[in-house]
Amino acid sequence: MSDVVLAGELPFPQRPDYLAAGSTLRSWLTTTDHKRIAILYAVTITVFFFMGGAAITAVRLELFVPNGWFLTSDTYNRLFSFHGIIMVWFFLVPSIPNTFGNFLMPLMIGAPDVAFPRLNLFSWYLTLVGGAFAVYTLIAGGVDTGWTFYTPFSTMFSNTHVLTAAAAVFVVGFASIATGVNFIATTHMLRAPGMTWFRLPLFVWSIYATSIVMVLSTPVLAISLMLVIAERWLGLPIFDPTRGGDPILFQHLFWFYSHPAVYIMVLPAMGVVSEIIPCFARRRLFGYDFMVYAIIAIAGIGFFVWGHHMFVSGQSPYASLIFSFLSFVIAVPSAIKVFNWTASLYRGQISFNSPMLYALGFVGLFTTGGLSGLFLASIPVDVHVTDTYFVVAHFHYIMVGGSVSAFFGALHFWWPKITGKMYPESWAQFAAITMYFGFNMTFLPQFFAGYLGMPRRYHTYPAEFQLYNVMSSAGAAVLAAAYLLPLMYLTWSLLHGKRAPSNPWSATGLEWTTSSPPPPNNFDMQPLVDRGPYQYHAERESAGTDAPEVQNARSLR
Ligand code: HEM
Ligand SMILES: [Cu+2]
């Protein structure tokens, strides 16, 4: 035991941790421990991630040559639709909130569990039911509407399994709402003594803001899908223009959810990065208050920009102007965050551990995605690149380059806490760097192909675009290999990894004050909080360097 006890660490307590608290299948399927539920989600979304990945591998293979070679256009449509539906609703939306949010939020605020533990478990079962509908859709032959279910195609023309696909998303939406309600209540009610709102770690703030977006926007998605089901199944005239309906209404409803939903996907990622950067730069996070206001601003303004997805739909040009303007406005808080992360690195003692590599990757890729968002927010440019690969590149830079990088960053940062095991760092660094290169190789060419006019969602294209597509497909192969690496060395770490101390990175959050893995009720004693979350400058103080910095920091206490 002695080799794992670092200076200043508590020795391992002699009581069971949450993983040892029961090992039967039943103990897992009936658990109400937020940490075990987080593991259930982690396993579930990993399965979905690889399913969605398999679908898109076939798509990229098909796009290797201009005229297609092994998929019919019909199969192709079903594959990219399945990819989008699975990745958005069954991987990205639940990814960070339901795994790391569930695991860490109570630990970070010093609580023994979430506010409604049974609702938490119920929400996981809802995810399974939704997933069952999605898998059934696939087995029954798939759906070809794309992840957006646009009417009138989805209601009147598609001959595929729209009903079960819509049911899948409908059900998993309720899992999202239940989780959001739970996190909001937890943040309000279960903070440890002294954990004031402005001492909350930014990860908690971002999960809190995400939860509010989930609770307010997801019902709109549920209603939109109900209406599609009502029209398609029961024949009620809602979107059908020949019977007085309005097909554009669906787009408004859909994007009124789905634009805020992109922030459900990226805010938690921002939270993760805000935890990792101070830790590996040994610096207090620059501009904590501004970061909090930026989170709130993003969550709020996110509700007012949906119309930027509809510049070519025939909506009023005046509406488009306002949506364009507000889309530029929402870039401001995003830019503030990028600025503050960068400023937190300034004069830090940076170590490039794997979580940090992922966090830095996030900042670069998110910035690229955000800047291309500004191109799209500008109406004339958007009209030019609408429904081209430029848009595909834009959202993948943010959703995959940003959110998935942050997911892997979180996985590596908190892995020792969650599993009680260390992983081989050099493998982890290698995977992070390969992922970064694979990602850019896949998606950078898509900006060019799109700008030059290659439309999205087609399974054939003119030969002039082949070079971009070959690069993209080759990059996707590198990326896929990079995603498989963590699966291998993390499994190895579970079996053979060294035991993790309670705080391997000398981080300052409350979650690092309990043992790794934590006991079932999180803390042996009720934690008391007497300071803000990122007091890393204390280390510099003790090192006796950098006097002005220390003074500055002190005055903040
Ligand atoms: C600076 C902030 C951002 C701005 C100004 C922006 C702007 C836009 C615009 C104008 C479009 C519509 C393009 C078109 O269809 O012609 C778009 C599409 C999209 N954006 Fe963003 N965006 C931003 C951030 C984000 C973030 C943070 C995410 C995700 C986490 C995201 C995900 C998407 C998705 C998924 C689409 C395409 C949906 C589809 O048609 O399938 N965007 N963005
Ligand atoms: Cu949007």
Find the 258 Cα to ligand 1 centroid distance in Å: 10
Give the number of the atom of ligand 1 that is nearest the alpha carbon of residue 371.
1
pLDDT band at 15 (very low <50, low <70, confident <90, very high): confident
Question: pLDDT for 83-136, tens place per residue?
Answer: 999 999 999 999 999 999 999 999 999 999 999 999 999 999 999 999 999 999
Question: pLDDT for 273-310, tens place per residue?
Answer: 999 999 999 999 999 999 999 999 999 999 999 999 99
Question: pLDDT for 519-555, tens place per residue?
Answer: 999 998 899 999 889 988 755 555 544 433 333 333 3
Nearest CA to ligand 1 atom 32: 395
Average pLDDT of the residues in 13-41: 90
Find the 305 Cα to ligand 1 centroid distance in Å: 10
**Per-residue pLDDT, 549:** 36
Average pLDDT of the residues in 373-390: 97
| Contact present, 148 and 258 (Cβ < 8 Å) | yes
Q: Which helix (H) or strand (E) holds 530?
A: none
**Per-residue pLDDT, 165:** 97
Question: pLDDT for 445-488, tens place per residue?
Answer: 999 999 999 999 999 999 999 999 999 999 999 999 999 999 99
Find the 326 Cα to ligand 2 centroid distance in Å: 11
| Contact present, 387 and 455 (Cβ < 8 Å) | yes
**Per-residue pLDDT, 312:** 96
Residue 11 has pLDDT above 90, yes or no: no
In 3-state terms, what secondary structure has residue 1? coil
Nearest CA to ligand 1 atom 36: 395
Judged by its nearest atom, the ligand closest to the C-alpha of residue 88 is 1
Nearest CA to ligand 1 atom 9: 376
Residue tagged 């095991």 (tokens)? 421
Pocket of ligand 1 (CB under 6 A): 148, 262, 265-266, 308-309, 327, 330-331, 334, 370, 373-374, 376-377, 382, 386, 391, 394-395, 398-399
- Helix segments in 282-316, DSSP class H: 288-301
Question: pLDDT for 384-410, tens place per residue?
Answer: 999 999 999 999 999 999 999 999 999
| Contact present, 306 and 252 (Cβ < 8 Å) | yes
Of 259, 336, 333, 257, nearest to 297 by C-alpha is 333
Nearest CA to ligand 1 atom 43: 373
Which residues have a Cβ under 8 Å from the Cβ of 38 and sit 6 or more positions away? 98, 99, 100, 102, 103, 418
Judged by its nearest atom, the ligand closest to the C-alpha of residue 394 is 1
What separation in angstroms does the CA of 276 have from each of 363, 433, 518? 12, 17, 20
Nearest CA to ligand 1 atom 16: 386
Question: Which residue(s) pair with 455 in the sheet?
Answer: 388
Q: Best of 80, 266, 308 to mutate for ligand 1, by most ligand atoms within 8 A of CB? A: 308
Nearest CA to ligand 1 atom 29: 262
Q: Which helix (H) or strand (E) holds 82?
A: helix 73-85
Nearest CA to ligand 1 atom 12: 309
First to last CA, the chain: 37
111: tokens are 């609580």
**Per-residue pLDDT, 14:** 58
270/24 Cα distance (integer angstroms): 36
219/221 Cα distance (integer angstroms): 5
339/333 Cα distance (integer angstroms): 10
Find the 306 Cα to ligand 2 centroid distance in Å: 5
Average pLDDT of the residues in 263-280: 97
Is there a cis peptide before residue 241, judged by omega within 30 degrees of 0? no
Of 217, 210, 181, nearest to 298 by C-alpha is 210
pLDDT band at 236 (very low <50, low <70, confident <90, very high): very high
Find the 35 Cα to ligand 2 centroid distance in Å: 33
Q: Best of 309, 379, 400 to mutate for ligand 1, by most ligand atoms within 8 A of CB? A: 309
Q: Best of 80, 262, 371 to mutate for ligand 1, by most ligand atoms within 8 A of CB? A: 262
| Percent with pLDDT over 90 in the chain | 91
286/509 Cα distance (integer angstroms): 16
* Type of residue at 311: F
**Per-residue pLDDT, 6:** 43
Residue 81 has pLDDT above 80, yes or no: yes
Judged by its nearest atom, the ligand closest to the C-alpha of residue 373 is 1
Residue 226 has pLDDT above 50, yes or no: yes
Find the 309 Cα to ligand 2 centroid distance in Å: 6
Find the 394 Cα to ligand 2 centroid distance in Å: 11
Of 108, 41, 94, nearest to 210 by C-alpha is 94
pLDDT band at 444 (very low <50, low <70, confident <90, very high): very high
Question: pLDDT for 477-520, tens place per residue?
Answer: 999 999 999 999 999 999 999 999 999 999 999 999 999 999 99
499/496 Cα distance (integer angstroms): 9
Question: pLDDT for 309-348, tens place per residue?
Answer: 999 999 999 999 999 999 999 999 999 999 999 999 998 9
Nearest CA to ligand 1 atom 28: 262
Is there a cis peptide before residue 486, judged by omega within 30 degrees of 0? no
Nearest CA to ligand 1 atom 20: 395
pTM to 2 decimal places: 0.92
What separation in angstroms does the CA of 242 have from each of 229, 245, 537? 18, 7, 67
98/179 Cα distance (integer angstroms): 7
* Type of residue at 438: G
In 3-state terms, what secondary structure has residue 469? helix
| Percent with pLDDT over 70 in the chain | 94
CA 478 from centroid of its chain's CA atoms: 21
Residue 440 has pLDDT above 80, yes or no: yes
Find the 259 Cα to ligand 1 centroid distance in Å: 7
Find the 344 Cα to ligand 2 centroid distance in Å: 29
Give the number of the atom of ligand 1 that is nearest the alpha carbon of residue 147.
41
pLDDT band at 22 (very low <50, low <70, confident <90, very high): confident
132: tokens are 């069952």
Find the 376 Cα to ligand 1 centroid distance in Å: 8
Q: Best of 394, 400, 446 to mutate for ligand 1, by most ligand atoms within 8 A of CB? A: 394
